[in-house]
């Protein structure tokens, strides 16, 4: 596949942008080779600067759930842009989006819009600390909550992809308030709670992690966390940046039947524009400025174009729950098609899937936490990734990222993907 233009662009980008990219996983460092520069996208396809077409399994890391350049969002955004791109004042569209979410998500009584998932999680932790008067919080190894200092300790996503799950630059003072537990291991949480009595403000987690590949919670794990939080007066925060409005309109909370005290959103909520949000119990949320003393603000928060995009998409998803059943069906077809190919190849593998999130781990043991996620054969992943790219299928360029399906994927796209997987596995 010709990629001269992408190579040229990457060389040029590297002169001005660290590593040539504005978010590290995109640099292809863990899979090798030069990143592909995308020029445009439509429906289920990405088109690169050399004119190659790919079936997209990144979906902008989640947001493009209806496929690319989905007309209702494009039209709404164009109209909103004509009215100006930002006011720095309240607008009616902020109410529309907030009302839609508050009315539909049971325990979200109030919601505050920010600009990214990172901002949402940073703000939620500050709020939990301010509200509770406690400093420490528990996070899980391999869960990724954006690049706020206190989260970059054994973090998933790009941090583990590039081999630095605990980032330099995070001071020991900050790190000491982040307590690390193992995902799917309630005993590790109980031990931390016991060792830090009355000191833990919050437990934050990706209820269905997607940043160490897709991993599923085992029976009783999430309910067990809820019980610990109730008993110990700890605020339970679900980071639903990936899962919110993606696994279903109610996200992981509805899927798992467990309610958090605070929830953070990103990705789908902005339909591809930069939006994050955090919401939850009214008594906690009213503790944020201007009503409460915990400060958080943003010039572009509630941006009119971003709110319009998010509202248009979320309204459609709320009114058309079949989007989710169709997506899950398509993802099931991918999973069902991959199993015999991988078995025929005789290669060690695990597939984890929930709704339209799926991961292929080249590993012989179940992938259920950070340690088991790291056991995957990255050389196989690299080879598979590049072979699939050659076949016109764009997977996330990291074994630690989930694949995301979009509603525009056709049956023939799925057939093409499975044929590509067959051809790619033959080359391993
Ligand atoms: N960290 C995000 C995925 N888990 C975004 C990666 C990117 O946009 O490069």
Residue corresponding to tokens 């941090």? 159
The closest-lying atom of ligand 1 relative to the alpha carbon of residue 21 is 9
Identify the residues whose C-beta falls under 6 Å from ligand 1. Answer: 23, 25-26, 61, 157-158, 211, 401
| Ligand 1 atom 4, closest CA | 157
Ligand 1 center from residue 23 Cα (angstroms): 6
Residue to mutate, 17, 18, 23, 152, ligand 1, most ligand atoms under 8 Å from C-beta: 23
Candidate list 239, 261, 369, 377, residue with the active-site label: 239
- Looking at ligand 1, which atom is closest to the CA of residue 22? 9
Has 139 been annotated as catalytic? no
Tokens representing 378 are: 């990255």
Residue that is written with structure tokens 């058309």 in the block: 320
Ligand 1 atom closest to the Cα of residue 25 is 9
Question: Which residues have C-beta within 8 Å of that of residue 195, sequence separation ≥ 6?
Answer: none
Strand, helix or coil for residue 49? coil
Please tell me whether residue 124 adopts helix, strand or coil conformation: helix
Which DSSP string do the residues of 344-358 spell out, in sequence order?
A: HHT---EEEEETTEE
Active site residue 144: yes
Q: Tokens 């979009």 sit at which residue?
A: 406
**Rounded to whole angstroms, what are the CA distances from 195 to 110, 125, 157, 204?**
33, 20, 29, 18
* Residue in 57, 144, 278, 349 annotated catalytic: 144
pTM, to two decimals: 0.97
Q: What pLDDT tens digit does each residue of the chain (428 aa) get?
A: 899 999 999 999 999 999 999 999 999 999 999 999 999 999 999 999 999 999 999 999 999 999 999 999 999 999 999 999 999 999 999 999 999 999 999 899 999 999 999 999 999 999 999 999 999 999 999 999 999 999 998 888 777 777 777 888 989 899 999 999 999 999 999 999 999 999 999 999 999 999 999 999 999 999 999 999 999 999 999 999 999 999 999 999 999 999 999 999 999 999 999 999 999 999 999 999 999 999 999 999 999 999 999 999 999 999 999 999 999 999 999 999 999 999 999 999 999 999 999 999 999 999 999 999 999 999 999 999 999 999 999 999 999 999 999 999 999 999 999 999 999 999 99
- In Å, the largest CA–CA distance within the chain is 61
Burial class from Cβ neighbours inside 10 Å (0-12, 13-18, 19+) for residue 163 reads exposed
Q: Which residues of 8-41 are buried (b: 16+ CB within 10 A; e: fewer)?
A: ebbeebeeeeeebbeebbbbbbbbebbbbbbeeb
Report, in angstroms and rounded to the nearest whole number, the Rg of the chain calculated over CA atoms.
21
Domains of the chain: 4-69+321-425 (3.90.1150.10), 71-319 (3.40.640.10)
């Amino acid at each position: 596949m010709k990629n001269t233009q992408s190579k040229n662009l990457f060389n040029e980008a590297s002169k001005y942008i660290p590593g040539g990219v504005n978010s590290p996983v995109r640099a292809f460092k863990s899979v090798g080779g030069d990143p592909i520069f995308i020029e445009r996208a439509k429906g289920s396809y990405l088109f690169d600067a050399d004119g190659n077409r790919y079936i997209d399994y990144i979906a902008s890391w989640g947001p493009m759930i209806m496929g690319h350049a989905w007309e209702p969002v494009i039209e709404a955004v164009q109209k909103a842009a004509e009215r100006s791109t930002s006011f720095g004042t309240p607008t009616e569209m902020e109410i529309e989006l907030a009302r839609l979410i508050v009315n539909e998500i049971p325990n979200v009584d109030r919601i505050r819009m920010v600009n990214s998932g990172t901002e949402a999680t940073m703000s939620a932790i500050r709020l939990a600390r301010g509200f509770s008067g406690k400093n420490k919080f528990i996070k899980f190894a391999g869960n990724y909550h954006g690049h706020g200092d206190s989260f970059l300790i054994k973090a998933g996503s790009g941090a583990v992809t590039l081999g630095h799950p605990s980032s330099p630059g995070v001071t020991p003072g900050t790190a000491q308030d982040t307590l690390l537990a193992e995902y799917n291991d309630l005993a590790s949480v109980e031990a931390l709670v016991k060792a830090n009595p009355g000191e833990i403000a919050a437990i934050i987690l990706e209820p269905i992690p997607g940043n160490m590949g897709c991993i599923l919670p085992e029976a009783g794990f999430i309910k067990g966390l809820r019980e610990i939080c109730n008993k110990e007066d700890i605020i339970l925060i679900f980071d639903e940046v990936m899962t919110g409005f993606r696994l279903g309109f109610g996200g992981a909370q509805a899927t798992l039947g467990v309610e958090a005290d605070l929830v953070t959103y990103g990705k789908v909520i902005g339909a591809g524009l930069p939006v994050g949000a955090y919401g939850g119990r009214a008594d906690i949320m009213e503790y944020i400025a201007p009503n409460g003393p915990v400060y958080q603000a943003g010039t572009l928060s509630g941006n009119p174009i971003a709110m319009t995009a998010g509202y248009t998409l979320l309204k459609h998803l709320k009114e058309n729950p079949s989007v989710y059943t169709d997506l899950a069906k398509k993802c099931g077809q991918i999973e069902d098609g991959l199993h015999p190919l991988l078995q025929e190849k005789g290669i060690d593998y695990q597939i984890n899937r929930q709704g339209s999130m799926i991961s292929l781990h080249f590993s012989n043991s179940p992938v259920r936490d950070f340690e088991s996620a790291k056991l995957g054969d990255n050389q196989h992943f690299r080879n598979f990734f590049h072979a699939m790219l050659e076949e016109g299928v764009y997977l996330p360029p990291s074994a630690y990222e989930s694949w995301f399906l979009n509603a525009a994927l056709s049956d023939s796209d799925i057939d093409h993907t499975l044929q590509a997987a067959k051809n790619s596995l033959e080359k391993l």
